[in-house]
Structure 1
Amino acid sequence: MSTLYFVAFDLGATSGRSILGALTADGKLTTKELTRFPNQMMPLNGHLHWNIYSLFEELKRGLREVARLGIAPTSIGIDTWGVDYVCLAADGSIIGLPYTYRDSQTIGASDRFFNKVISATQLYGSTGIQHLDFNTVFQLNEHRNDFSHLNAAKFVFLPDALAYMLTGNIVTEYTIASTGALIDAYKQDLDNRILEKLGLDTSRFGKLVMPGLVVGNLKAEIAEETGLETVPVVAVAGHDTASAVAAIPALDRNFAYLSSGTWSLMGIETDAPVINETTERHNITNEGGVEGTIRLLKNITGMWIVEQCLKQWKSEGKDYSYPEMVALAQCSKAVCTLDPDVPDFVAPANMVAAIDEYCRATEQAVPATHGEYIRSVFESLARKYAKTLDVFRGLSEYPIERLHVIGGGSRNAFLNQLTADACGIPVIAGPAEATALGNIMIQAIASGSVKNLTEMRKVIADNIETETYYPKNKQS
């Protein structure tokens, strides 16, 4: 078997990238970043939208780069952040621009849903999904009377919408749909009872498919425009965290994971939903994973707070590189403890001012330097991770012996050490590009070159380097 090439498009809420994966017959896996581009929320008429057309152009740019290299890829896969969706008219055209999950309309959306539609316990009991104001189910309820929604023949999640634009075929991929509280956690299918409460039915969505299914081939006109053949487009684990978790280089089940980036997502992998009073009280979610697994996890606001501080300081004339930011934290002290998940930090106009106000409201010292802001956020995150991990210890069937940190945050050695100290177990950092690796290797499963999730993880473990951080002085 010759080398197989896979194109992974990994789109995050702030940036996107196209990555080429190469898998040889003897199991050697290499990746190459082809393009990288910003993904910014687009203010329009008082709301925040995603520019789906700009993202589509970036996908085509990535494909042109593959063609320029003279490579004939085996397939293409797309993953994105969760919950957001595109409205399609009956003729297949896109109606308007999709709202972002940080649009102001989502604030308080869950309470409005529970007051008028069904109770929080009923929704959680069926879907097992944590209640976040921006969940798809709440967005659909908020936008019932919008022009785009009133005229929508189909609602298509972001990765599926981009796959549709490439192939002309509409599907609803399981992992991305599960994030929005539209899936019956036990049946692993669209929840008709929930849809009926929204005035919808399954006909308004594409056929539900599991990761690894071929959606269709690249349209002839796009193949011609990009210089490629009509390559298959695979429905990978469309939710970026699902692809990332699939790429954890673990050879047993005695672990918890932390997908660290703009969001931090901590959890464990289970074979069935865990829906009970404890998981509901802690707002723990049961999201779909690869091969029928459940990603039992908790969303924690992660590097978003620091990212927004850096953005604010840049606007004021001070631009820090990533290493400079970490060095500032190391040389500073934490002067306050934040709860990263309070509404104050969801989408403030000025994150620095939001931190100041939070500190005053909680009668804590206000950071005096940029380093103190960053250090305070880092230590607050580590403490939050430790408290959350304690909850999962009580839910896991297996002993949690280590914490795998994946995603961009795995490169932050200082935060990883703080996390190991707070959690009291080794932290294994890497891969940083877990999402893209998961995307690539699910395509490899679809091609038949890799058998299953277990073999996929072994290939990744054999080919990537990790760094282990052992706990030193455990934090209280």
Structure 2
Amino acid sequence: MTFAVAAVDLGATSGRVMLGTFTDDRVSLREVRRFPNAPVRRTYGGRTELRWNFGDLMEQITEGLREAVRQEPELSGLAVDSWGVDYGLVRSGRQVDDPFHYRDSRTAEVVEETHRRISAARLYRRSGVQPMAINTLYQLLDDHRTGRLAEGDSVLLMPQLVEYALTGVARTEATIASTTGLLGADGAWDLELARELGLPVSALPALVGAGQERVPLFADLGRVLGSDGLTVTAVASHDTASAVAATPLAAGDAYISCGTWGLAGVELEAPFLDEAAYREGFTNEAGYGGRICFQRNLMGLWLLSECVRRWREQGDDQALPQLLAAARSAAGRPVFDVDDPVFAEPGDMPRRIADWYRARDLEPPGFPAEFVRCIVDSLAESFAAALAAASRLTGRPVRRIHVVGGGSRNALLCEAIAKRSGLRVLAGPAEATALGNVLAQAAVAGRVPREPEAVRAVAERSADRTSFG
């Protein structure tokens, strides 16, 4: 008997609603709706802010779910995953306002103030999460400073904010909570730290694990979608955790989950809190089944997206596949530091890259294909270096790399990763996050054993992969 569910998979540049069907011990995915997810700039009190348009996001999700029900009337349920760190505030069943975008610059002063009170190294020892200005912790402290935090009585991370709009239930799933900087290395909210920083612990909803709880949709919403009785399952709602859950890792394997961001690392059984890991920029985020994603959070395909956007504004409408094809024969350049803060905010990315080279007396790329070649080579170098460091720090040899997410479709990037790492690369699936989302729902429904290895065995049967190197 076919088992069908919907995966609401939200990325920091686009979202999608995927229909997942489980038949004959494998999952097939079908995209039913894809939509852009771009921040909006708004001016409040003389300051330009970067926010998410949550109302538009929910309209797109609702339309996608309606289409999923139309295509599969026996749909059993749905689950939501998204990027980390961002959140919304709610009070008495009402959303306070649109969530801030993590690339908003509001936390710069807060980070410095916080580290004068509690060192970054101490924060790392408590949570295992690399202190970064985008982290939920610093965003909450800025909201506390401005008084915005007092306007809400619950802080809901993005997947659970969507769930709240669908069900009215406030909760926090553990993998997405691990991106906040407020989840202790023991997997529980660090209430002592929250109190020390003056944050209201009552605003942190109860934690649930991936696959531990299903809640019903609002009845009215179910009628709008055309299906009564749908439930929302708490899966590994951090998109990286879902993607890694669907990656068939074996001994000696590492992963690169490459989308807007690039997450490069290895899976561990427990957090690795060594001071050297902190110094070298590694973070410990919760994964499916109690595993730990020990990884560097790196620049991903956003650099390419921003360059393409800028060239289109200037009248060059070449699509990325054309640019990648031209980049194969473009002259190479020394790699640049893709994680330099100068590349962190939206803007004229080709100019910033050229300025980076000029500031170091290096010849910059001259035309779009050369920029693309430089970006691809530099991303590959960043990923290869991160995995070499993860292997050295943990003492675990890395013999093979899985590239999943949108970056797995980029053959030039996968080839460059194989070349710079000297390792075999397996690319795919591109929709690893949605696959992990669907498989977690199948596990809750008893269609797949819950153990990570069993989930991965189904994932391996469900998706093709391409080998490089």
Place the TM-score, normalised by the shorter chain, in its bin: over 0.9
Secondary structure of the 1:456 match is helix
Partner in structure 1 of residue 94 of structure 2:
93
The answer on whether the counterparts of 1:257 and 1:405 sit within 8 Å (CA) in structure 2 is yes
Partner in structure 2 of residue 235 of structure 1:
234
**What amino acid is aligned across from residue 125 of structure 1 in structure 2?**
R
Q: 2 CA distance for matches of 1:4 and 1:105?
A: 45
Partner in structure 2 of residue 473 of structure 1:
none
Partner in structure 1 of residue 105 of structure 2:
104
The answer on whether the counterparts of 1:169 and 1:215 sit within 8 Å (CA) in structure 2 is no
Q: 1 CA distance for matches of 2:135 and 2:262?
A: 17
Q: 2 CA distance for matches of 1:360 and 1:243?
A: 40
The answer to whether the aligner puts 1:166 opposite 2:166 as a matched pair is: yes
Q: 2 CA distance for matches of 1:377 and 1:362?
A: 17
The answer on whether the counterparts of 1:163 and 1:215 sit within 8 Å (CA) in structure 2 is no
The answer on whether the counterparts of 1:96 and 1:148 sit within 8 Å (CA) in structure 2 is no
The answer on whether the counterparts of 1:336 and 1:365 sit within 8 Å (CA) in structure 2 is no
Partner in structure 1 of residue 80 of structure 2:
78
Q: 1 CA distance for matches of 2:107 and 2:351?
A: 22
Counterparts of residues 120-135 of structure 1 (less than 5 Å): 120-135=120-135
Counterparts of residues 121-270 of structure 1 (less than 5 Å): 121-185=121-185, 187-250=186-249, 252-270=250-268
**What amino acid is aligned across from residue 105 of structure 2 in structure 1?**
S
**What amino acid is aligned across from residue 20 of structure 1 in structure 2?**
L
**What amino acid is aligned across from residue 208 of structure 2 in structure 1?**
V
Secondary structure of the 1:327 match is helix
The answer on whether the counterparts of 1:174 and 1:288 sit within 8 Å (CA) in structure 2 is yes
* Pairwise CA distance, 1:305: 1.2
- Flag the 1:147–1:112 CA change in 2: closer, same or farther, 3 A: closer
Q: 2 CA distance for matches of 1:281 and 1:174?
A: 25
Q: 2 CA distance for matches of 1:317 and 1:344?
A: 25
- Flag the 1:348–1:9 CA change in 2: closer, same or farther, 3 A: closer
The answer to whether the aligner puts 1:64 opposite 2:66 as a matched pair is: yes
Provide Cα deviations, 1:150-175, integer angstroms capped at 9, x if missing partner: 21101010000100111111111101
Partner in structure 1 of residue 34 of structure 2:
36
The answer on whether the counterparts of 1:140 and 1:198 sit within 8 Å (CA) in structure 2 is no
* Pairwise CA distance, 1:432: 0.5
Secondary structure of the 1:33 match is strand
Counterparts of residues 264-303 of structure 1 (less than 5 Å): 264-303=262-301
* Pairwise CA distance, 1:200: 2.5
Secondary structure of the 1:213 match is coil
Q: 2 CA distance for matches of 1:321 and 1:206?
A: 43
Q: 1 CA distance for matches of 2:387 and 2:367?
A: 31
The answer on whether the counterparts of 2:195 and 2:201 sit within 8 Å (CA) in structure 1 is no
**What amino acid is aligned across from residue 129 of structure 2 in structure 1?**
I
The answer on whether the counterparts of 1:334 and 1:373 sit within 8 Å (CA) in structure 2 is no
**What amino acid is aligned across from residue 145 of structure 2 in structure 1?**
N
Q: 2 CA distance for matches of 1:208 and 1:340?
A: 35
Partner in structure 1 of residue 54 of structure 2:
52
Partner in structure 1 of residue 114 of structure 2:
113
The answer on whether the counterparts of 1:258 and 1:404 sit within 8 Å (CA) in structure 2 is yes
* Pairwise CA distance, 1:109: 4.2
Q: 2 CA distance for matches of 1:348 and 1:244?
A: 26
**What amino acid is aligned across from residue 287 of structure 2 in structure 1?**
G
- Flag the 1:62–1:446 CA change in 2: closer, same or farther, 3 A: same
**What amino acid is aligned across from residue 112 of structure 1 in structure 2?**
E
The answer on whether the counterparts of 1:348 and 1:354 sit within 8 Å (CA) in structure 2 is no
> What TM-score results when the alignment is normalised by the length of structure 2?
0.96
**What amino acid is aligned across from residue 400 of structure 2 in structure 1?**
R
The answer on whether the counterparts of 2:27 and 2:459 sit within 8 Å (CA) in structure 1 is yes
**What amino acid is aligned across from residue 232 of structure 2 in structure 1?**
V
What percent identity do the matched residue pairs reach? 37
The answer on whether the counterparts of 2:308 and 2:320 sit within 8 Å (CA) in structure 1 is no
Q: 2 CA distance for matches of 1:369 and 1:236?
A: 44
- Flag the 1:229–1:397 CA change in 2: closer, same or farther, 3 A: farther
Q: 1 CA distance for matches of 2:281 and 2:438?
A: 31
The answer to whether the aligner puts 1:307 opposite 2:291 as a matched pair is: no
**What amino acid is aligned across from residue 310 of structure 1 in structure 2?**
V
The farther-off stretch of 62-71 and 234-243 is 62-71
Q: 1 CA distance for matches of 2:158 and 2:146?
A: 19
Provide Cα deviations, 1:82-108, integer angstroms capped at 9, x if missing partner: 00000011x121111110000021345
Q: 1 CA distance for matches of 2:105 and 2:15?
A: 24
Partner in structure 1 of residue 331 of structure 2:
333
* Pairwise CA distance, 1:197: 2.6
Q: 2 CA distance for matches of 1:226 and 1:385?
A: 42
The answer on whether the counterparts of 2:80 and 2:437 sit within 8 Å (CA) in structure 1 is yes
Instruction: Count residues with an aligned counterpart.
Output: 464
Segments of 5+ residues of structure 2 without an aligned counterpart are none
**What amino acid is aligned across from residue 219 of structure 1 in structure 2?**
F
Secondary structure of the 2:354 match is helix
Q: CA RMSD in A?
A: 1.3
Provide Cα deviations, 1:313-341, integer angstroms capped at 9, x if missing partner: 00011122231021121120222421001
* Pairwise CA distance, 1:215: 4.1
The answer on whether the counterparts of 1:15 and 1:37 sit within 8 Å (CA) in structure 2 is yes
* Pairwise CA distance, 1:357: 1.4
Counterparts of residues 338-377 of structure 1 (less than 5 Å): 338-377=336-375
The answer on whether the counterparts of 2:258 and 2:405 sit within 8 Å (CA) in structure 1 is yes
Q: 2 CA distance for matches of 1:146 and 1:447?
A: 44
Secondary structure of the 1:111 match is helix
Q: 2 CA distance for matches of 1:70 and 1:312?
A: 39
**What amino acid is aligned across from residue 17 of structure 1 in structure 2?**
R
Secondary structure of the 2:21 match is strand
Q: 2 CA distance for matches of 1:413 and 1:431?
A: 13
